[in-house]
Chains A and B, each alone.
Chain A
Amino acid sequence: MNSQMKRGILEMCILYQFLSDDYYGYDIMVKMKIYFPEVKDSTFYVILRRLNAEGYTEIYYGEESNGPQRKYYRITEKGKKYLEDLMENWRLIRDIVSDLGIE
C-alpha cells in the first residue's frame, strides 16, 4: 500500500477503536495487527504519538496490580470531530471509486 494512503487509513482505524474503549499502547497494536498483519508495530506507535501530539487523544495512567503504571489513551472531543471528518472523506472516496467501477 502507498505509505501516505496507508497512514491516513490507519489513523482513521486507530482513532475509531478509541470510540468504544480506552486502550494502552501495546493493546492497540495487538488489535490493529489482527487487521493489518503486514504493518510493523512501530508504524502504529508513530500514529498513536502523532494523534496524541495533535490533541486528538489524551493520556491517563491506569492502576496496575503489578509492574509499572500503564499509559492509557482516551479520545478527546477534538479527536471525535477529526474522526468524523476522516470518515466523511473516506465515504466520499469509497463512493467515487465504486462509481468508477473499481470493486
Chain B
Amino acid sequence: MNTIGKEEYLLQVKNAMLFHFSRKDIHTTLEDLNQIFESGKENGKTEREIYNEFGEPKEFIHGLLQDSHDKFMGNLFRYIFGALLLCVLTILTFYQRSQVLLCILTVILPGFIWNLLGGGCLYKIRTESERSLKRFYLYHILTFLIIAAEQVFITLVNTDMDRMAPFGKAVYNLSYLLLIAAVIVMLIAIYRVCRGYYLSFGILTLSCGVACSLFLYLDYLMRFVDAGDSYILGFLPYTVSFAFSVLSFLFHRKSV
C-alpha cells in the first residue's frame, strides 16, 4: 500500500472537494484533518499509521459525497412539492394581473414558500455555512422582486399606454443587452450546477428570472398586446432550476 505525507493528503482532499463544497467547508475540513494528524503524532503515531487508520483520500471524499447524496434524497420530495406549488401559484397570478397589490403578493409569497420548502434545503446539502445560505436567500428574494416589478410595470402600462413614451428606445435596447448578459450568466450557472457545484444554484435562479422577465417585457413591447398568454415564462425560472437540479443530481450520482 502506498502512503503519502500529511501535506499531500490535505492537497488531495482539497482538490477533490473543490467543485462540490463551499470554500468555508473546505477550510474547516482541512483544519480538522490537520488537527487529526497533529493529535495522532502527539500520541506517538507516525504519519503512515495515521494515514492507514484514517483511510485513503478517495474513500474519505466518497463518504462525504455519499452524505450529501443522502441528504439530497431526503430533501428531494420537499423540493419537488415546493416547486410544483410555486408553479401553480404563479399561473394563478397571471389571471389576477389587473390588481397591482395582488400581483406582488402572489409573486413574492410563493417565492418565500418555495424557499422554505425546498430551495434552502437543496442548497444546504452542499454547505454548512450560514453566511452563504443568507446569500442564497438574497438571490432568490431579488429574483422575486424583479419578476414582481416586471408584472407591476406591465399592469401599469396596460392601464395607461402613454406612460411608455418617456422610456423610449433606450430602455428597449438596454433590455436587450441585459437579456443577453442574463442568458450568458445562466448558461455558466447551469454548467456549474451540472458539475455538482450547487452553490451556483442561487445565481441560476436569479439569472433565469431576470432573463424571463426581460423576455416577457420585450415580447410585450414588440407585439403591443396583452402578455397574458406568455404566462409560461413566469414560472420558467423555477421549472428550469428544478429540471437542472434533478439533472445535475443524476449527473453527479454517476460521477461518485
A and B co-occur in one complex: yes
Q: Which residues does A use to contact B, with CB under 8 Å?
A: 24-27, 29-30, 33, 40-43, 45-46, 49-50, 52-53, 67-68, 70-71
Q: What's the nearest-Cβ distance from chain A to residue B241, in Å?
A: 23
Residues of B within 8 A of A42 (CB): 54-55, 59-60, 63
Residues of B within 8 A of A30 (CB): 43
Q: Mark B162-204, 1 if CB is under 8 A from A, else 0.
A: 0000000000000000000000000000000000000000000
Residues of B within 8 A of A40 (CB): 53-55, 59-60
User: For the complex, is B36 an interface residue (Cβ under 8 Å from A)?
Assistant: yes
Smallest CB-CB A-B distances: 6 pairs: A40-B55, A26-B39, A42-B60, A46-B63, A42-B55, A41-B54
Q: What's the nearest-Cβ distance from chain A to residue B22, in Å?
A: 12
Q: What's the nearest-Cβ distance from chain A to residue B14, in Å?
A: 15
B36 near A46 with CB under 8 A, answer: no
B64 near A41 with CB under 8 A, answer: no
User: For the complex, is B32 an interface residue (Cβ under 8 Å from A)?
Assistant: yes
Binding site secondary structure of chain A? helix
User: For the complex, is B38 an interface residue (Cβ under 8 Å from A)?
Assistant: yes
Residues of B within 8 A of A24 (CB): 35, 39
Residues of B within 8 A of A70 (CB): 35, 39
A29 with B35: in contact, given A46-B60, A46-B63 (CB under 8 Å)?
no
B40 near A26 with CB under 8 A, answer: yes
User: For the complex, is B219 an interface residue (Cβ under 8 Å from A)?
Assistant: no
A45 near B35 with CB under 8 A, answer: no
A40 to B31 CA separation, bound complex (whole angstroms): 19
**15 more A-B residue pairs beyond the given contacts A33-B53, A45-B60, with a C-beta to C-beta distance below 8 A:** A24-B35, A24-B39, A26-B39, A29-B36, A29-B53, A30-B43, A40-B60, A41-B54, A41-B55, A42-B54, A45-B54, A46-B66, A49-B29, A49-B32, A70-B39
Residues of B within 8 A of A49 (CB): 29, 32, 64, 67, 128
Residues of A within 8 A of B64 (CB): 46, 49
Q: What's the nearest-Cβ distance from chain A to residue B75, in Å?
A: 13
Chain B interface, number of residues (Cβ within 8 angstroms): 21
Q: What's the nearest-Cβ distance from chain A to residue B12, in Å?
A: 12
Query: Can you give 25 A-B contacts (C-beta < 8 A)?
Result: A24-B35, A24-B39, A25-B35, A25-B39, A26-B39, A26-B40, A26-B43, A29-B53, A40-B59, A41-B36, A41-B53, A42-B60, A43-B63, A45-B32, A45-B54, A46-B60, A46-B67, A49-B29, A49-B64, A49-B67, A52-B128, A53-B128, A67-B42, A68-B34, A68-B38
Within 8 A of A (CB), among B35-82: 35-36, 38-40, 42-43, 53-55, 59-60, 63-64, 66-67
B59 near A68 with CB under 8 A, answer: no
B63 near A68 with CB under 8 A, answer: no
Residues of B within 8 A of A46 (CB): 60, 63-64, 66-67
Give the nearest-CB partner of A44 in chain B: B54
A26 near B35 with CB under 8 A, answer: yes
A29 to B64 CA separation, bound complex (whole angstroms): 17
A24 to B38 CA separation, bound complex (whole angstroms): 13
